[in-house]
Structure 1
Amino acid sequence: MEKNLNPRRDFLKKSLLAGVGLASTPIIAQAESKEIQTSESSINNKVTFLITSDIHAQVNTHDEFFVENGKHVFKKRGGLAVLKTMIDSLKKSNPNQTIVYDGGDFFHGHALATFTEGEALIPIFNQLGYDLILPGNWEVVYKKKKMLYDMGHANAAKVCANMWHDTTDEFNGELVYPPFWIKNMGGTKIGVIGYTDHLVPKRQSPAFSVGLRFDHPEKNLPKYVKYLKEVENCGVIVVVTHIGLAQQVGLANNPATQGVDIIIGADTHERLRKPIKGKFTDVVECGAFGSFVGKLDLKIENGRMAGYDYKLLDVDPVKYKPDTQVQALVNKALAPFKNDFNKVIGTSTVPLMRYYVMETPMDNLITDAIKWKLKPDIALSNGFRFCQPLSSKDPKTGLINITEEFLWNMLPLDSEAKTGVITGLQVKKWLEQELQNAFAPNPAKRFGGWFVRYAGMEVNFTIANETGKRVNWVKIGGKEVLDDQEYTIVACEREGDPNDTLCRIEHVKNPVKHTLMMHDIIKEYLKVHSPISPKLEKRATATDAPDTLLTQLRGYDYEFM
Structure 2
Amino acid sequence: KNAGGMTVVTNAGCSGKYIGVLDFDIKDHRVVGYNYKMLPILTDFVKPDAAMVSFITKMRNTKYDENVVEARSSAMSNNMDRLDKTYDEILTEKLCKTDQTLYRRGNFMGTWDQVLVNSLREEHDPDFAMSAGVRWGTSVPAGHDVTMEDLMTNTSMTYGETYVSELKGAQLKDILEGIAENLFVQDPYLQSGGDMVRMGGMDYTIDPAATLGNRISEMKDDEGTTIDPNKSYKVSGWAQVGSVGNGRLMWDVAADYLRKQGTLDLKKVNHPTIKGVKTNPGIENYAGKLI
TM-score, length-scaled by structure 1 = 0.41
- Could you tell me which residue of structure 2 aligns to residue 525 of structure 1? 257
Which amino acid in 1 is paired with 2:260? V
- The answer on whether the counterparts of 2:23 and 2:35 sit within 8 Å (CA) in structure 1 is yes
**SS of the residue 1:382 aligns to:** strand
**SS of the residue 1:479 aligns to:** coil
Query: Are 1:364 and 2:114 matched, yes or no?
Result: yes
Q: Which runs of 5+ in 1 are unaligned?
A: 1-248, 255-277, 394-398, 500-512, 553-561
The Cα shift of 1:404 comes to 1.3
**SS of the residue 2:269 aligns to:** coil
Over residues 437-495 of structure 1, what are the superposed CA-to-partner deviations in whole Å (9 max), with x where a residue is unaligned?
Answer: 23223222322311111212111122222221112211135311112111111111524
Alpha-carbon distance change, 359 to 301 in structure 1, aligned in 2, over 3 angstroms: closer
- Could you tell me which residue of structure 2 aligns to residue 475 of structure 1? 220
- Could you tell me which residue of structure 1 aligns to residue 198 of structure 2? 453
- The answer on whether the counterparts of 1:378 and 1:454 sit within 8 Å (CA) in structure 2 is yes
- The answer on whether the counterparts of 1:346 and 1:523 sit within 8 Å (CA) in structure 2 is no
Cα distance in 1 for partners of 2:174, 2:212 equals 11
Q: Which runs of 5+ in 2 are unaligned?
A: 63-86, 285-291
Query: Are 1:424 and 2:149 matched, yes or no?
Result: no
The Cα shift of 1:312 comes to 2.5
Cα distance in 2 for partners of 1:300, 1:464 equals 36
Bigger relative contact order (CA 8 A; separation at least 6): 2
Which amino acid in 1 is paired with 2:97? T
1:544 to 252, 276, 284: 276
Cα distance in 2 for partners of 1:460, 1:328 equals 50
1:406 to 145, 150, 156: 150
- Could you tell me which residue of structure 1 aligns to residue 37 of structure 2? 311
- The answer on whether the counterparts of 1:417 and 1:490 sit within 8 Å (CA) in structure 2 is yes
Query: Are 1:441 and 2:193 matched, yes or no?
Result: no
The Cα shift of 1:352 comes to 0.4
- The answer on whether the counterparts of 1:358 and 1:541 sit within 8 Å (CA) in structure 2 is no
- Could you tell me which residue of structure 2 aligns to residue 5 of structure 1? none
Alignment identity in percent?
A: 22
Cα distance in 1 for partners of 2:217, 2:94 equals 42
Alpha-carbon distance change, 377 to 313 in structure 1, aligned in 2, over 3 angstroms: same
Which amino acid in 1 is paired with 2:252? D
- Could you tell me which residue of structure 1 aligns to residue 231 of structure 2? 485
The Cα shift of 1:348 comes to 1.3
- The answer on whether the counterparts of 1:362 and 1:534 sit within 8 Å (CA) in structure 2 is no
- Could you tell me which residue of structure 1 aligns to residue 8 of structure 2? 282
Cα distance in 1 for partners of 2:37, 2:154 equals 29
The Cα shift of 1:536 comes to 5.5
- The answer on whether the counterparts of 1:455 and 1:539 sit within 8 Å (CA) in structure 2 is no
Query: Are 1:386 and 2:157 matched, yes or no?
Result: no
Alpha-carbon distance change, 281 to 427 in structure 1, aligned in 2, over 3 angstroms: closer
- The answer on whether the counterparts of 1:457 and 1:539 sit within 8 Å (CA) in structure 2 is no
**SS of the residue 1:520 aligns to:** helix
The Cα shift of 1:283 comes to 3.3
Query: Are 1:373 and 2:126 matched, yes or no?
Result: no
The Cα shift of 1:434 comes to 1.9
- Could you tell me which residue of structure 2 aligns to residue 294 of structure 1? 20
The Cα shift of 1:543 comes to 2.6
Cα distance in 2 for partners of 1:297, 1:374 equals 51
Over residues 532-554 of structure 1, what are the superposed CA-to-partner deviations in whole Å (9 max), with x where a residue is unaligned?
Answer: 122653441113346xx9569xx
- Could you tell me which residue of structure 1 aligns to residue 74 of structure 2? none
Alignment of 1:125-140 (within 5 A): none
Over residues 514-534 of structure 1, what are the superposed CA-to-partner deviations in whole Å (9 max), with x where a residue is unaligned?
Answer: 342222211221122231122
- The answer on whether the counterparts of 1:361 and 1:535 sit within 8 Å (CA) in structure 2 is no
Query: Are 1:340 and 2:85 matched, yes or no?
Result: no
The Cα shift of 1:365 comes to 0.8
Cα distance in 2 for partners of 1:524, 1:453 equals 20
**SS of the residue 1:431 aligns to:** helix
Which amino acid in 2 is paired with 1:366? L
- The answer on whether the counterparts of 1:456 and 1:476 sit within 8 Å (CA) in structure 2 is yes
Cα distance in 2 for partners of 1:533, 1:550 equals 27
Cα distance in 1 for partners of 2:11, 2:145 equals 32
TM-score, length-scaled by structure 2 = 0.76
Which amino acid in 2 is paired with 1:455? G
